[in-house]
Amino acid sequence: MNTTKEILSKFKNIALVGASKDLTKTSSIVMKYLQNYGFKVYPVNPSMKGEKILGEIVFGKISEIKNPVEIVDVFRPSNEIIDIAKDTVKIGAKVLWLQLDIKNEDAKKIVEANDILYIEDKCTKIEYEKYLN
């Protein structure tokens, strides 16, 4: 399984790293869209820990999420991805998904060495619209 269609069909629990309470930001638009299509989205933003975004409590980091996370969906700059990749491995997620214009070869090596799928430079919302909506 390595196509975005297969990933979004199979996995429904997403940690959204870089969530924002500004509902006009891309991360919020994507979060709301995914929620509307049956995904459980856990917002992650250390500066908003404990607050709520779109009805969900915000986590400071993905390792604080007690429920299983399958996709780590990242809205952070490319230079922050290595630590997120390491946390993705620690929690046993299935996919590290980097949004548009986000890439990191070292992060790719980290997750792929641990049998985690790596997607870069793609939007979960756009991919879902393209194949499943």
Structural domain boundaries, residue 61:
4-132
Neighbouring C-beta atoms of residue 80, cutoff 10 Å: 15
Task: With H, G, I as helix, E, B as strand and everything else as coil, classify residue 2.
Answer: coil
CATH of the domain at 99: 3.40.50.720
Q: Each residue of 52-103: pLDDT tens digit? A: 999 999 999 999 999 999 999 999 999 999 999 999 999 999 999 999 999 9
Q: Is 35 exposed, middle or buried (0-12, 13-18, 19+ CB in 10 A)?
A: middle
Strands 95-98 and 117-119, bridge-based pairing: parallel
Domains in the chain: how many in total?
Answer: 1
Whether the Cβ atoms of residue 2 and residue 97 lie closer than 8 Å to each other: no
Tell whether the torsion through CA atoms of 105, 15, 65 and 95 is positive or negative. Answer: negative
pTM over 0.85: yes
